[in-house]
Amino acid sequence: MSAPAVPDRPTRVRTMVTAALRQWHLHPRWAMAVRGAVAAAAAWLVGIVMPEPFSDYPYYAPLGAVVATTSTVARSVRESLQAVGAILAGAVIARLADLLLAPSALSIALVVAIAILVAGWGVLGDMGSWAVTSALFVLIIGNADKVGYVGAYAGLVVVGALVGIGINLLFPPLPLAASDVALGRLREALADQLDHLADGLDRGAAPSPEEWDERRLTLGPVIDVSRQSAARTEDALRANRRARRYAETSRTQGVQAQALSLTSSVVGDLTRLITSWETQDRDDLAFGEPLRPLARDALRAYADAVRSMTGAVADPERVSRVERTTDALRHAVRDVRSGSEEDYFVAGATVLAIRRGVAVVAGE
């Protein structure tokens, strides 16, 4: 038996580079850290060469740079303005308190209380906490230079923010890979939940409520992460020079996110219906022994279709299988309903939910 071929050195290097780039794209915070470090260092250098009193406080410029580089291009402008607004609000609060009270524990308590209230002002958004920081800095550190300190503090933050915005414009974040991973995890989680429901029906008797509890997956956090990732990507496309280059990829991700959002709604409905109505403690079961195997087959086929989704559309053969198994369940529901006093309402609702889900994964 011949020894397996060993890749040559250029091939190994390309493989390593490809793997490294993939990890880089999967972890957008790494790029954020680099942008923040470069912007902070550049802002510091700018602060040093500025005239007095700005050059006396160059360490405030990196703060503005960090604010601008820890978000998308569009958000960096908005959050920089909010940070400057919060800083000025905090400075005004500190100066007014300084006019009324001598520096003491009472003045600090008053300034902090008012600044915290101002920080909750919706106009300032997430940057509102800068009002508290600014108020304390101006009250305590800037007491010796009441006018110069406030101007230098706010001005240097503006300068640093401009540097950060410039870095963001040159190297704009676009977390498409991370969003793709989040969507993939959601797709797998939804398919797993459908498989768990099918497994619960793959038995002679209906499961107990406790057994169903073990088969309910906690989908909320996975759905939230996927939605947040999709929202970050959408926000990152605004004013992004790379947006045109990746327009088709971002469009496909948007369509997939919408399809998976609808699918998660269907899976949630199916989970509530089946785990509430096909249990040992009910006399009016959703399926009962005649329908349980057919419902199981339809759920498994639906899980396979969801798992096969490429972009927003599932494999056509698997979609056809879901349609066949769902039709078989629908016909069986009609037959048992005609020969029974039970209305099998939940079984019919299950059929409708799966058909609604099939329409989504089929791209209809």
% of the chain with per-residue pLDDT over 70: 82
CA 5/CA 342 separation, integer angstroms: 67
178 pLDDT higher than 90: no
The pLDDT assigned to 135 comes to 86
In this model, does residue 340 exceed pLDDT 80?
no
Mean pLDDT of 289-304: 94
pLDDT digit string, tens, across residues 180-203: 778 888 999 999 999 999 999 998
Q: Between 39 and 267, name the one with better pLDDT.
A: 267
Given a cut of 50, whether residue 321 has pLDDT beyond it is: yes
What is residue 102's predicted lDDT score, i.e. its pLDDT? 75
Tell which phi-psi region holds residue 245, choosing left (phi > 0), alpha (psi between -120 and 50) or beta: alpha
CA pair distance 97, 110, nearest whole angstrom: 8
Q: What is the mean pLDDT of the chain?
A: 82
Residue 67 pLDDT: 78
14 versus 97: which is more confidently predicted?
97
The answer, yes or no, to whether residue 300 has pLDDT greater than 90, is: yes
Rounded Cα distance between 298 and 327, Å, is 9
In 3D space, the residue among 45, 43, 89, 91 whose CA is nearest the CA of residue 67 turns out to be 43
- The pLDDT value recorded for residue 29 is 66
Residue 3 has pLDDT above 90, yes or no: no
Question: How crowded is residue 183: how many other Cβ atoms within 10 Å of its Cβ?
Answer: 23
The predicted pLDDT at position 4 comes to: 55
Cis status of the peptide bond prior to 62, with omega within 30 of 0: no
| Confidence tier at 273 by pLDDT (50, 70, 90) | very high
What pLDDT score does 1 carry?
45
How confident is the model at residue 292, as a pLDDT? 92
* Full DSSP string of 181-230: HHHHHHHHHHHHHHHHHHHHHSSSSPPPHHHHHHH----HHHHHHHHHHH
Phi and psi torsions of 27, nearest 5°: -125, 80
Lowest mean per-residue pLDDT among 7-11, 209-213, 319-323 = 7-11
Mean pLDDT in residue range 92-121: 85
Q: How confident is the model at residue 100 (pLDDT cuts 50, 70, 90)?
A: confident
Q: Read off the pLDDT of each residue in 208-232 and give the average, rounded to a whole number.
A: 82
What's residue 190's pLDDT? 95
Of 3 and 303, the one with more pLDDT: 303
d(CA 189, CA 297): 19
- Residues 71-90 pLDDT 10s: 666 677 777 788 888 888 88
Q: What pLDDT score does 37 carry?
A: 86
- Burial class of 337 by CB neighbour count within 10 A (0 to 12, 13 to 18, 19+): middle
pLDDT in tens, 9-47: 666 666 665 555 555 555 556 777 888 888 888 888 988
Query: Over the stretch 65-74, which tens digit does the pLDDT of each residue have?
Result: 887 777 666 6
Query: Between these two residues, 296 and 56, which has the higher pLDDT value?
Result: 296
Which one of 156-165, 245-254, 301-310, 342-351 scores highest in mean pLDDT?
301-310
What span, in angstroms and rounded, lies between the C-alpha atoms of 93 and 142? 13
